[in-house]
């Protein structure tokens, strides 16, 4: 299975840190956020990676190169202007395979064991999401896990937060017109058809959305 790291966001909530440094290259624990992913992906056996970029993307390419220093091979998907999640993935599909692929947001940190994610077949399941307990900044959560399937919550149900870790099948994007767009509507439509599986992960996971959260992660990793 190939893996894709989504690294094209402008990191506007992280300013001023991201005025001159792309968000994936911000450091915690002595290394960049994206370097943490590369090391964990390589350790889990993911050696062929696709990384998209837009804002200050040349700096990401310069820092990571071919990925050889991390034991991986990187193919770059250059966007110019950020295409959001679905748009970025659709542009990168020719660089991936016809089979399912792991996808992870570059602006999270986690100890999730990537090798645990099973594939999806593109028929019964188009995606498999990793859900986590709701962080303080997102107490309402996103989705419910119901007998192995992910769906939108009903009134009064406890929802979990989407972690930014998933396995997608190219069939999820079949017929979608390329361009700037979120993956959320595609996932919700697939959920309504019972085609999105999932799991709940209770290990370490951090959404690095603000300078304060980055500083907190850095302090944790420096211990």
Cα 41–chain centre separation: 12
Per-residue model confidence (pLDDT) at position 17: 84
pLDDT digits (tens, 9 = 90+) for 22-67: 999 999 999 999 999 999 999 999 999 999 999 899 999 999 999 9
Local confidence band at 9 (pLDDT 50, 70, 90 cut-offs) = confident
pLDDT digits (tens, 9 = 90+) for 111-120: 999 998 999 9
- Closest by alpha carbon to 6, among 43, 60, 47? 60
The pTM of this model reads 0.95
Residue 64: φ, ψ to 5°: -100, -25
C-alpha–C-alpha distance, residues 45 and 113, integer Å: 11
User: Which carries the bigger pLDDT value, residue 36 or residue 222?
Assistant: 36
Per-residue model confidence (pLDDT) at position 172: 98
How do 2-6 and 101-105 pair as beta strands? parallel
Which domains, ranges and CATH numbers included, belong to the chain?
2-221 (3.90.550.10)
pLDDT digits (tens, 9 = 90+) for 66-80: 999 999 999 999 998
CA atoms within a 13 Å half-sphere pointing along the CA-CB vector of 28? 27
Q: How far apart are the first and last CA of the chain?
A: 34
């Amino acid at each position: 299975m190939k893996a894709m790291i989504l690294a094209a966001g402008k990191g506007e909530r992280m300013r001023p840190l991201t005025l001159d440094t792309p968000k994936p290259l911000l450091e915690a624990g002595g290394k960049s956020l994206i370097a943490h992913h590369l090391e964990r992906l390589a350790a889990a056996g993911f050696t062929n990676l696709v990384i998209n970029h837009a804002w200050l993307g040349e700096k990401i390419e310069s820092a990571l190169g071919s990925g050889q220093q991390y034991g991986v091979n990187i193919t770059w998907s250059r966007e110019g202007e950020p295409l959001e999640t679905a748009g970025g993935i659709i542009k990168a599909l020719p660089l991936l395979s016809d089979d399912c692929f792991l996808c992870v947001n570059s602006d999270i940190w986690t100890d999730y064991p990537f090798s645990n994610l099973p594939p999806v077949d593109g028929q019964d399941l188009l995606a498999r999401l990793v859900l986590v307990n709701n962080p303080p900044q997102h107490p309402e959560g996103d989705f419910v896990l119901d007998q192995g399937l992910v769906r939108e919550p009903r009134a009064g149900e406890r929802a979990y937060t989407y972690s930014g870790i998933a396995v997608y099948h190219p069939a999820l994007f079949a017929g979608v017109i390329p361009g700037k767009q979120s993956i959320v509507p595609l996932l919700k439509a697939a959920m309504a058809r019972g085609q999105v599986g999932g799991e709940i992960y209770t290990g370490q996971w951090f959404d690095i959305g603000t300078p304060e959260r980055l500083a907190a992660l850095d302090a944790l990793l420096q211990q």
